[in-house]
Structure 1
Amino acid sequence: MTDASVNTEVQSGDAGFGDYVSLLKPRVMSLVVFTAFVGMMVAPGAVHPMVGFASILFIALGGGASGALNMWWDADIDQRMRRTRTRAIPSGRVRADEARAIGLALAGISVVMLALASNFVAAGLLAFTIFFYVVIYTMWLKRWTPQNIVIGGAAGAFPPMIGWAVVTGNVSLESVLMFALIFMWTPPHFWALALFMKSDYADAGVPMLNVTHGRRTTRRHILGYTLILAPLAIATGFSGIGGPVYLATAIVLNLMFLRGAIAIWRRDDAAADADNYAVERSFFRLSLYYLFLHFGALLIDASLVRLGLEIW
């Protein structure tokens, strides 16, 4: 943390239960839990329901640990950004050292308990995910390179692999495909946000692509990653975890996503300012549903197979 973090070392006394929960980034955790659950459900084989429940719980705690440690380290950045300045640490409701202690405790508990509940492969992947998000992304890449969100996106892509490993004890092509889907989705998702957040990242000193290379380059990169993401997502429908529901969902969603990326690529700053970045905001909202719908479709196909109702 930089000197700006001194302002976060205040006495907490107004913190409520919700403030401590917010340290765990519950909205991000919901995606972690859902994709890990889908990873478990589409994997060949099965685990006892109690093992599955415990595994999801500890994966969620690991995701929450990453969020708390991220908020601890990034308190100085959060203080400067409109979107984050009301978070528990920069607003002074929770002390930074409290968040660090919570994060470290949850990280240790989640990894050890996942190893006991399932297997060491799943626990090792969870430990590596926490390390990657906190050390590689938060402490290093985020403040150093405009490729921060590209490389750092791997941290958010591991949960379905962890869920798969809970059941199978290994990593396979299918789990890598789920990883790749999230990994390639992450840059367009965050760069769209960066475009309409305007100066927030520049004010915080975060070298996002739009800050270091400009909005025109960012628009091209959004389109470029979407052009790779779309065929990857559709091709997953022909893999061992795919099915007709997923394939239909992927075709529709990726045509919409590609259309939005092309619309962003065609715009300039004058047009974006004129309508308050309506196209970029619309693309970002679509990206919020994109992963949930893809993984939801995988879950439906897997459920049909388990019920003996598969179409192909």
Structure 2
Amino acid sequence: MREAEAGDFFALLKPRVMSLVIFTAFVGLVAAPGTMNPVMAFAALLMIAVGAGASGALNMWYDADIDAVMNRTAKRPIPAGKLTRGEALGFGVTLSVASVVLLGLMINVTSAALLALTIVFYVLIYTIWLKRRTPQNIVIGGAAGAFPPMIGWAAVTDSVTLQSMVLFGIIFLWTPPHFWSLSLFISKDYEKVGVPMLPVVAGVKETRRQILLYSLLLVPCGVAPYFMGFAGPVYGIVSGALGAWFLYLAFQVWREREKAERKLFAFSILYLFIVFATLAAERLIEGLMV
């Protein structure tokens, strides 16, 4: 094994996932009532990003055996022989502790507690305990991925509110149709390593039905910020239109239309980005006009 490089450790952080965490945490921070010093806001986002990266490193440490078998993950640093599992474990634990402690000292205890909960939930509950035991693994894992906007909100308000829980709910309900649509066309990878992804355990037909059910729940939750008064009319129109198209594609998946799952998977990424970006843009523009 060659000597590990900085890029190998960076890859452990799952940078694509980390970028989504930074983005949604930023939206939570911007959408929250009140103001925050820009330097402290940057520090909060940095610690949230580090905590998310630590979770990714610990996930790769534990899943190194199945990562080596799956085509989608075989080039990750551990199965590729660039890092050892011990190095990944030490790196992940160090970043986990540092991110939580620094967020608590620099920002507030509420946001630090939520970050700690996110890491524990993703690593212990999802990765180690339930990922290989239940076809609901994506639903459970989605909870960990839905915490960042709540953490950003708590960084400003030092509290957890119904509004921040709605932002949590959007990502939580978005995750199953997003990942299950992906799993429909890579299910053989999961079957090969014994991960009980829904299409493998319950079948394709049930997976399509579950995608539609979660999409039906997602759409009203996506529009809820407008009706609750912490998003404006532009957000209401955009989220409603995107939600209608999301639901249409989910219906096409349920009806087993050709390549519908690929179209839904691609659009789901766009949906989440535009919905959250619109909310952030509205709040930033509103702040400039005050």
TM-score by length of 1: 0.91
2:140 corresponding residue in structure 1: 151
**Quick one: which of 229, 237, 253 aligns to 2:242?**
253
Matched residue type, 1:37:
F
Q: 1:23-60: per-residue Cα shift (whole Å, max 9, x none)?
A: 00000001110111111111111111111111110000
Contact 2:166 / 2:224 at 8 angstroms: preserved in 1? no
Which of 86, 103, 115 in structure 1 is aligned with 2:104? 115
Between the aligned partners of 2:193 and 2:124, the Cα distance in structure 1 is 19
* Aligned match of 1:166: 155
1:293 maps to which residue?
Answer: 274
Structure 2 match to 1:263: 252
- Give, in angstroms, the shift of residue 85 of structure 1: 0.8
Mapping of residues 3-152 of structure 1, within 5 Å? 12-13=1-2, 15-152=4-141
Q: Which residue of 2 aligns with 1:302?
A: 283
Counterpart CA distance in 2 for 1:34 and 1:117 is: 20
1:275 corresponding residue in structure 2? none
Aligned AA (1:211):
V
Deviation for aligned residue 1:19: 1.7
**SS in structure 2 opposite 1:109?**
helix
- How far apart are 1:304 and its partner, in Å? 2.4
Mapped contact 1:245–1:300 kept (Cα < 8 A)? no
Q: Which moved more, 1:39-48 or 1:128-137?
A: 39-48
Instruction: Kindly state the Cα deviation for residue 300 of structure 1 after the two structures are TM-superposed.
Output: 1.1
SS at match of 2:289: coil
Unaligned runs of 5+ in 2: none
Q: In structure 2, how many angstroms separate the alpha carbons of the residues matched to 1:302 and 1:14?
A: 47
2:10 maps to a residue whose letter is V
Q: Any idea what the Cα deviations from partners look like across 1:262-298, whole Å, max 9, x if unmatched?
A: 111001xxx75xxxxx221111111112211111011
Give me the whole-angstrom Cα distance separating, in 1, the residues matched to 2:59 and 2:186: 20
Q: Secondary structure at the match of 2:78?
A: coil
Contact map agreement 2:187 2:197 (CA 8 A) in 1: no
Say yes or no: does 1:196 pair with 2:177. Answer: no
Displacement after TM superposition at 1:74 (Å): 0.5
Q: Partner letter of residue 183 of structure 1?
A: F
Structure 1 contact 174–240 (Cα < 8 Å) conserved: no
Please give the root-mean-square deviation of Cα atoms over the aligned residues, in Å: 1.2
Q: Distance in 1 between matches of 2:87 and 2:15?
A: 18
| 1:116 match: secondary structure | helix
Match of 2:260 among 279, 282, 285: 279
How many percent of aligned residue pairs carry the same amino acid? 54
Give the whole-Å Cα distance in 1 for the aligned partners of 2:230 and 2:107.
22
**Distance (Å, rounded) in 1 between the aligned partners of 2:123 and 2:234:** 36
Offset at 1:150? 0.7
Letter in 2 for 1:279: A
Indicate the SS of the match to 2:212: helix
- Consecutive aligned runs of 4 or more in structure 1 exceeding 3 Å deviation: none
After superposition, the C-alpha distances for 1:218-243 in whole angstroms (9 at most, x for unaligned) are 00000010011111111222223211
Q: 1:198: Cα distance to partner?
A: 2.9
